[in-house]
Amino acid sequence: MTTRLQGRTAVVVGGGQTPGAAMGNGRAAALTYARAGARVLVVDRDEKSAEETVLLVREIGGTATAHRADITIEEDCAALAQTALEIFGQIDVLHNNVGIVASGRTEDLSSANWRRGFEVNLTGMWMTCKYVLPHMRARGRGAIVNISSMAGLLAGGETIAYTTSKSAVHAMTRSLALEYAPHGVRVNAVAPGMMDTPMGVDSVARSTGARRDDVAAQRASLVPMGHQGTGQDVADAALFLASDESAFITGVVLPVDGGFTLKTGTH
Ligand SMILES: NC(=O)c1ccc[n+]([C@@H]2O[C@H](COP(=O)([O-])OP(=O)(O)OC[C@H]3O[C@@H](n4cnc5c(N)ncnc54)[C@H](O)[C@@H]3O)[C@@H](O)[C@H]2O)c1
């Protein structure tokens, strides 16, 4: 346990995880904030998965509560902010982890899947900010950490909906950062690369029928550092952006990608 977030509260949206062999970015963030002393509201559409995260937080001596919400439903976004305030009395950190991959090239991608990608990755994230920001502005403090993707720094035909929605997350992060800087609220993003997570590896193995180890090795081979990152790598970067150690940093998109985007000169 550390004290970097002692006395603080964190709302981790998407704090459950896709089933798989490793720990996801959202669950790792909830545990990391709790280990740093924060009380955590673990929000997820999948309540059982949020409750599993809560149990893991309690196992390390932390404090957490599960809350079910679908961030594509505006009432749920309002309710998650209200619930956090009722339970904790304050929200210091909003961590937006929810994201889905809507894949397919333009001519194969249905308009419904394109819209779904934007609804979940962008509009839902914006709506959680919308309902937490009035509280942070009134207090004159707060940190928002949006989990994006290195895909938002790249171009990719097969993932056009994902890359475009994640680029928009970067634009939204910078716009909110500028708007709320005078109010003491910082807004930053983390852009993970090839991560050894259920979303990154197990779901690809399941959908393609490939062996998990083969998917993992192929992804690792693309990374300049020679291996994939972990959910913990993303959580550690998020903790920095959520804590006072980054008190003068706002509007940045921090790649956590082992050098992947250096190859493309996109950051
Ligand atoms: N895992 C990776 O390899 C990787 C790489 C780059 C970026 N990212 C980004 O990291 C984030 C997720 O990473 P993860 O490893 O935690 O994934 P994950 O799939 O394990 O966790 C995401 C959680 O979000 C929840 N969720 C999905 N839709 C929701 C909705 N509408 N409302 C509420 N909850 C919802 C899911 O139930 C799940 O528990 C995403 O933003 C993703 O784009 C991941």
DSSP state string for 171-240: HHHHHHHHHHGGGTEEEEEEEE-SB-SIIIIIHHHHHH---HHHHHHHHHTTSTTSS-B-HHHHHHHHHH
Does 261 sit in the ligand 1 pocket, CB within 6 Å? no
26 lines ligand 1 (CB under 6 A): yes
Q: What is the pLDDT of residue 1?
A: 75
Q: Is the CB of 229 under 6 A from ligand 1?
A: no
Q: Which ligand 1 atom is at minimum distance from the Cα of 16? A: 39
How does DSSP classify residue 169? H
Distance 182 CA to ligand 1 centre (A): 31
Residue located nearest, by CA, to atom 43 of ligand 1: 99
Average pLDDT over residues 193-205: 96
CA-based R_g, the chain, Å: 17
Is residue 33's pLDDT more than 80? yes
For atom 40 of ligand 1, the residue with the nearest CA is: 99
Cα-to-centroid distance, 183 and ligand 1 (Å)? 29
pLDDT tens digit sequence for 207-247: 999 999 999 999 999 999 999 999 999 999 999 999 999 99
Q: Which protein residue's CA is at the shortest distance from atom 42 of ligand 1?
A: 99
Q: Work out the mean pLDDT of the chain and round it to a whole number.
A: 97
Superfamily of chain region 9-259: NAD(P)-binding Rossmann-like Domain (3.40.50.720)
In the reported structure, the alpha carbon of residue 26 is separated from the centroid of ligand 1 by a whole-number distance in angstroms of 7
Predicted pLDDT at 157: 78
Q: For residues 261 and 156, what is the distance between their CA atoms, to the nearest angstrom?
A: 13
What pLDDT was estimated at residue 156? 83
- Ligand 1 contact, 147 CB (< 6 A): yes
pLDDT of residue 267: 63
| pLDDT per residue as tens digits for the range 129-186 | 999 999 999 999 999 999 999 999 999 878 999 999 999 999 999 999 999 999 999 9
Average pLDDT over residues 14-18: 97
Coil, strand or helix at 256: strand
Domain ranges of the chain: 9-259
- Cα 185 to averaged position of ligand 1 atoms, centre (Å): 24
More confident residue, 2 or 132: 132
What the block records as the tokens of 144 is: 């928002």
The pTM of the full predicted model, rounded to 2 decimals, is: 0.98
Residues tagged active-site: 162
* Segment 91-115, tens digit of pLDDT: 999 999 999 998 899 999 999 999 9
- pLDDT tier for residue 85 given thresholds of 50, 70 and 90: very high
Q: How far is the CA of 202 from the centre of ligand 1 (A)?
A: 13
Q: Does ligand 1 come within 6 angstroms of the Cβ of 72?
A: yes
For residue 147, give the 3-state DSSP assignment. Answer: strand
Task: Name the residue of 12, 18, 25 whose CB sits within 8 Å of the most ligand 1 atoms, as the mutation to test its pocket.
Answer: 25
**Gap from CA of 138 to ligand 1 centroid (Å):** 30
Q: Are 227 and 22 in contact (CB under 8 A)?
A: no
**Is 53's C-beta closer than 6 angstroms to any atom of ligand 1?**
no
| Beta-ladder partners of 177 | none
* Ranges 1-5, 11-15, 43-47: which has the least confidence: 1-5
Residue 198 CA: nearest ligand 1 atom is: 20
| Residues contacting 252, CB < 8 A, separation 6+ | 188, 189, 241
20 pocket-lining for ligand 1 (C-beta < 6 Å)? no
Cα distance between residue 138 and residue 38, in whole Å: 21
Q: Is 120 in the pocket of ligand 1 (CB under 6 A)?
A: yes
What's the length of the chain? Answer: 267
DSSP 121: I
